Amino acid sequence: MELERLGVLENLFSFGRKLGHEFVVYDGAFADESLYERDVLECYEEAVDEHFEAFWKPIADFRGEAGPLYPEGILELLVEGK
C-alpha cells in the first residue's frame, strides 16, 4: 500500500522537560502484516534514545471518556481518511 496524505497537523509539545515538534500527515500500512496481530509494539525513538510501547486502539476509544487523541485535529483526519 502506498502512503496517502491525509493532511498536515503541526504539534508543538513538551514531554517531561523536553520540547518536541511533530507532523502527523500520512495513512499507510505495515509491509509486515504480522504487526497487526500483536497487542503491543516495542518501539525505539533514536532522537531521544528512549524505548516505548505502542498499542492498537479503536478510534471509538477517543470519542468518549477515554480520549482525547493528540495532536488536536488528528481524530477528524483519521475518520475522514477511512
Give the tens place of pLDDT for each residue, 16-33: 888 888 777 788 899 999
Q: Is the pTM of this model over 0.85?
A: no
- The pLDDT of 23-52, averaged and rounded, is 90
Q: Say yes or no to pLDDT of 35 above 90.
A: yes
Per-residue pLDDT at 48 exceeds 80 = yes
Which alpha helices (H) appear in the chain, and where do they start and end? Answer: 74-81
Specify the amino acid at residue 45.
E
Mean pLDDT over the full length of the chain: 85
Higher pLDDT, 65 or 40: 40
